[in-house]
Amino acid sequence: MAPWSLSSEIWEEARDPAVNPEISWEAQVRLSTDLCDEEKDFLSNRRQHTVKALAKYLGVPESDVHPDDVPVIAMCGSGGGIRALVSGAGSCLAAAEDGLFDCVTYTAGVSGSCWLQTLYFTSIGQQNYAHIIKHLKDRLGQHIAYPPPLLDLLSQSPTNKYLLKGFLEKLKGVPDADFGLVDLYGLTLAARLLVPHDNIRVNDGDLKLSNQRIHTDKGNHPLPIYTAVRHEIPEEKDGRDYFQWFEWTPYEFFSEELEAGIPTWALGRKWSAGHTVWPHEGYVLPQLRVPMMMGMWGSAFCATLSHYYREVRPLLTISGLGRLDALLTDREDEMSKVHPIDPAVIPNYALGLKGRLPAACSQGLLESTHLQLMDAGMANNLPIYPLLRPGRQVDVIIAFDASADVREDNWIGVVDGYVRQRNIKGWPMGAGWPSKSKSKEETRQELEDAQAKAQEEHINASEDNSSADLGSCTVWVGTKEERGKAQKMDDATWELGERCLSSPNAGITLVYFPFLKNATVEGVDPMHDDYMSTWNFVYTPEQIEKVTRLAQVNFNEGRDQTRRTIRAVWEGKRRRRLGHEYESQLNSSIA
């Protein structure tokens, strides 16, 4: 690096603890299945806020809301690139205007929904979804990789230094790390999403994920969870491949499969046997910058051939290419193990921990110097799994699903296998789009019918949980009973659902909002409009207005059902608490 060059200036700052204090901090791998202490403190502080918010949302006196009765509500958004980002902004704006968002304890995202969470906590988003939507209208009119504006940002101050920090720090500080398309992708994403319209008011604080704790430490806002996966592909030809989930919060980078995590501010440094590897010059790298992680979170192009096929499958059906579809389906197993584009890498904090991690951890994981991480949508396009961690004790999950083919992919249904594997109790087993042996044309017609029903205020009542008629909002209640199935909560089954929620075995309640077309919003069809492809990165202000409007209308049509559900969950928890207190008093009097 030439003296006085931009790269030299960036590297000098990277070595300055006054600018990046974490470079002098010691860190260790935390081996535990429990939540970190910072998240536990957050939960305690957040509850103080959600007590007030819930009372306002339900229209009851705050004195009637006992802290122990407040449901832990999580709101999650699917993957889907810019489509998920824009529609998610509309859904969250509607939830915020309704007062529901203030009651939320966790948010979680995949791909584009991770970008939305990032924007929410930046100086651009200012924790305001209306500001975010305006920003998207200002910035999404050009492709992220369109050379003239991108080169301007990378060559002019102050954006050049702002955008290139993470890239140059990794290039200089991790010489054995591969640089690939995902890193460049993160850079171009940041240039489009993390730079304000005037290109001037950039804020270096937005580049560190751990800085988001400024907004969460006191419980003022929900805790964001960002996700990615590692693909374990066994060397044996007949071995079973699988995905390992990794999650970020402002506090910790963690994996349930590894039962281990590190502070978020320590991500990007090298590790050995659970400890920081200190270089000779005395300082480690600053924490991995947000643009690099944005690339990982949304790296759908690192998908296996199988996932590429799944994304374009609706187009094959529309085009009448049924024979090609059948041929590719027969090669599903082979295609599921091939990644045409390499994922991004970060230093592996599990290196040297053999014998201290779960036995299921592979030899390759324990010996690899780097973790290869990619878009979590390859495993499940909804970030449900992190919300099922026992310590989080989530009562209600509100899922906004903007997947490419919500009916066919049925990501809600995929969760059943995960909860069986991990022996998780309370998930509403059998929830989601039903699995039926139908032709592809019948399946597509089913989805068209469901989209048409989205304009109705409530879903038509039916006690048959196998009904395919899911509209703009569907609610299921889980149970902790063995072999218990989800109970759908609609007008016809409401009393039964309330009894389930009052039961000692009450499980998780799922409120599901698929991103479907709506007759009241003309000119918007997520299934057929070309600009809503996962691979499209250009949205006009008019298109953003239509997409966010559709998301808001769909939420508003399920608004009353959602509020009624939250009230039922709260009342169920209240009845159970009062019952326990009565039993305790009775036992004390007998003794």
Strand residues in 404-518 grouped as ranges (E)? 474-479, 487-488, 506-514
CA angle 102, 108, 113 (to 5 degrees): 100
Predicted pLDDT of residue 523: 87
Distances, alpha carbon 120 to alpha carbons 129, 174, 423, in Å: 7, 30, 34
Tokens 């591969």 -> residue: 178
CB atoms inside a 10 Å sphere around CB 223: 24
Q: Indicate if the alpha-carbon torsion angle 67, 568, 485, 471 is positive or negative.
A: negative
Q: Are strands 223-232 and 242-248 parallel, antiparallel or unpaired?
A: antiparallel
Per-residue pLDDT of 357-386, as tens digits, reads 999 999 989 999 999 999 999 999 999 999
Three-state DSSP class for 128? coil
Predicted pLDDT of residue 343: 84
The rounded distance, in Å, linking the Cα atoms of 253 and 343 is 18
The answer to whether 89 touches 101, Cβ cutoff 8 Å, is: no
Distances, alpha carbon 405 to alpha carbons 310, 416, 443, 543, in Å: 9, 19, 11, 20
Predicted pLDDT of residue 333: 54
Query: What one-letter code names the amino acid at 108?
Result: A
Q: Indicate if the alpha-carbon torsion angle 154, 156, 160, 162 is positive or negative.
A: negative
Query: What one-letter code names the amino acid at 511?
Result: V
Per-residue pLDDT of 19-56, as tens digits, reads 999 999 999 999 999 999 999 999 999 999 999 999 99
Tokens of 265: 């501010």
The rounded distance, in Å, linking the Cα atoms of 137 and 29 is 42
Query: What one-letter code names the amino acid at 238?
Result: D
Predicted pLDDT of residue 456: 45
Predicted pLDDT of residue 326: 56
**Domains of the chain, earliest start first:** 1-25+142-303+339-379 (3.40.1090.10), 32-132+382-591 (no CATH), 306-335 (no CATH)
Q: Are strands 271-272 and 260-263 parallel, antiparallel or unpaired?
A: unpaired
Predicted pLDDT of residue 310: 55
Enumerate residue ranges in the chain where pLDDT < 50: 304-305, 308, 316, 318-320, 328, 334-339, 438-440, 443, 454-467
The rounded distance, in Å, linking the Cα atoms of 374 and 561 is 36
The rounded distance, in Å, linking the Cα atoms of 562 and 557 is 10
Tokens 């305006």 -> residue: 134
Predicted pLDDT of residue 439: 45
Q: What is the pTM of this model?
A: 0.90
Cis before 234 (ω within 30): no
